């Protein structure tokens, strides 16, 4: 009896060359966060990825790992269309005397596009106290004396400030008004479908800190006495957010030059506008201011003896001097900087004007 035949084994497959072999994946090691210190003993703590609780290997203290929440990103949608934005620009051409009067007839609108610009918004409540002295001068008999009155001011303010998160030198808008605006969670796809979206180019945390410091300075300057002996200010409920705000960018041409206007796409106000100035108005301001200062000065000199004999003679002299200086300074600024007119709600306040205003207030407060 013959035994059944056994089939031969299949031939062995040749191994591929080493260059064609697939590299075997090595098991990934869990990531470890280093550089943290224990809040109890100060020793180094290593945290495995995904862990929220850790125990110090030196002192055995249990600790929670908490990360920063980051900055909230929101948006404001537009309510104005392209035609409405152009009407705002045309209406701005017809307003005011400082701009070139031929703008309304000769200016041609070239293009208009909708864009969302990033702004950092900081909202916080500031409380505190400011103690000091209010200085006044009064005349007693034939002598002037300085009177110091103690002042105690309580500070309690809610401040809402905005600052651009990207370079806005080309567009001229340095702040926006978010009061009463409908703020929605950010939908990047929706914004891209409606217009252009600019991205932040500055540190959002740094801008938030800068806005907080500006808010503290503004709160301390309001109602500030002439001489401060003690001040304490603190901020509460600080909230920082990145807001994408809509602006219509409208460009127009006038006599071979191109200018730019930005219209608030939410409330329809003029955020920034640039236009050539009215040269006739510049010359009139300079001549009128000098003539007015001369008239006031000569009139005062004619009756100077009457002013100086009165009890408030020195006060009147100081007020007349301020009026003369203000007239000449206003005329000079109109003539010097009136070649190009910049207007809008988003303009950054001129530092020189702020310093002059503060100096005038401080000077006049001594004679109140």
Q: What is the pLDDT of residues 216-272, one digit of tens each?
A: 888 877 777 888 888 888 888 888 999 999 999 999 999 999 999 999 999 999 999
Q: Which range among 28-37, 136-145, 182-191 has the greatest average pLDDT?
A: 182-191
pLDDT score of 19: 57
Q: 0.85 exceeded by the pTM? A: no
Higher-scoring residue by pLDDT: 39, 128: 128
Percent of the chain clearing pLDDT 90 (strictly above): 38
Establish how many alpha carbons lie within 13 A of residue 257's alpha carbon, considering only the half-sphere containing its beta carbon: 8
Determine the average pLDDT of the residues in 308-317: 64
pLDDT score of 367: 44
pLDDT grade, residue 154 (50/70/90)?
confident
pLDDT score of 101: 92
Q: What own/partner pairs with CB < 8 Å and gap ≥ 24 does 93-97 have?
A: 93/275, 96/341, 96/343, 97/278, 97/281
Please report the DSSP string for 144-177 in residue order: EEEEEEEEEEEEEEEEEEEEESS--TTT------
Query: Residues 111, 115, 117, CA angle at the centre, nearest 5°?
Result: 140
8 A C-beta contact, residue 357 and residue 282: no
Q: Compute and round to an integer the Cα radius of gyration of the chain.
A: 34
Say yes or no to pLDDT of 27 above 60. no
pLDDT grade, residue 17 (50/70/90)?
low
Identify which of 284, 286, 276, 230 has the alpha carbon closest to the alpha carbon of residue 256: 276
CA distance 282 to 162: 33
Query: How far is CA 125 from its chain centroid?
Result: 17
pLDDT score of 360: 47
CA distance 337 to 331: 10
Say yes or no to pLDDT of 316 above 90. no
pLDDT grade, residue 4 (50/70/90)?
low
Higher-scoring residue by pLDDT: 34, 232: 232
Q: Which range among 113-117, 143-147, 321-325 has the greatest average pLDDT?
A: 113-117
Higher-scoring residue by pLDDT: 46, 285: 285
Average pLDDT, the chain: 82
pLDDT score of 248: 97
Strand bridging mode 72-75 / 227-254? parallel
Query: How is the chain split into domains, by residue range?
Result: 37-67, 73-276
Q: What is the pLDDT of residues 165-188, one digit of tens each?
A: 998 888 999 999 998 899 999 999
Q: How far is CA 351 from CA 124, 208, 325, 347, 356, in A?
A: 24, 21, 18, 12, 9
131's tokens: 């103690």
Q: What is the pLDDT of residues 75-102, one digit of tens each?
A: 999 999 999 999 999 999 999 899 999 9
Determine the average pLDDT of the residues in 312-329: 78
Partner residues linked to 233 by β-bridges: 128
Q: Which of helix, strand or coil describes residue 320?
A: helix
8 A C-beta contact, residue 259 and residue 274: yes
pLDDT score of 173: 94
């Amino acid at each position: 009896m013959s035994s059944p035949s056994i089939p031969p084994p299949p031939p062995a497959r040749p191994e591929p060359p080493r260059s064609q072999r697939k590299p075997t994946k090595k098991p990934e090691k869990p990531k470890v966060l280093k550089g943290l210190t224990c809040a109890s003993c100060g020793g180094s703590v290593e945290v495995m990825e995904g862990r929220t609780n850790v125990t110090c290997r030196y002192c055995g203290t249990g600790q929670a790992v908490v990360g920063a929440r980051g900055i909230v990103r929101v948006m404001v949608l537009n309510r104005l269309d392209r035609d409405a934005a152009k009407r705002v620009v045309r209406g701005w051409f017809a307003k005011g005397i400082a701009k070139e009067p031929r703008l309304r007839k000769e200016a041609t609108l070239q293009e208009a596009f909708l864009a969302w610009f990033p702004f950092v918004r900081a909202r916080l409540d500031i409380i505190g106290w400011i103690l000091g002295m209010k200085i006044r001068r009064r005349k007693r008999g034939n002598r002037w004396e300085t009177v110091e009155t103690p002042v105690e001011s309580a500070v309690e303010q809610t401040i809402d400030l905005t600052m651009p998160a990207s370079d806005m030198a080309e567009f001229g808008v340095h702040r926006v008004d978010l009061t009463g605006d409908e703020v929605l969670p950010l939908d990047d796809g929706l914004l891209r479908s409606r217009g252009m979206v600019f991205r932040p180019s500055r540190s959002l945390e740094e801008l938030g800190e800068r806005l907080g410091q500006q808010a503290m300075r503004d709160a301390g300057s309001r109602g500030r006495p002439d001489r401060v002996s003690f001040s304490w200010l603190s901020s509460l409920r600080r909230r920082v957010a990145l807001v994408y705000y809509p602006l219509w960018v409208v460009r127009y041409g006038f006599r071979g030059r191109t200018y730019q206007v930005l219209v608030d796409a939410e409330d329809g106000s003029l955020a920034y506008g640039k236009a050539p100035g009215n040269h006739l108005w510049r010359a009139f301001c300079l001549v009128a201011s000098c003539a007015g200062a001369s008239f006031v000065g000569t009139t005062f000199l004619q009756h100077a003896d009457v002013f100086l004999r009165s009890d408030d003679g020195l006060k009147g002299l100081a007020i007349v001097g301020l009026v003369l200086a203000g007239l000449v300074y206003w005329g000079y600024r109109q003539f010097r900087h009136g070649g190009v007119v910049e207007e809008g709600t988003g303009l950054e306040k001129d530092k020189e004007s702020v310093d002059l205003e503060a100096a005038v207030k401080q000077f006049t407060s001594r004679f109140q």
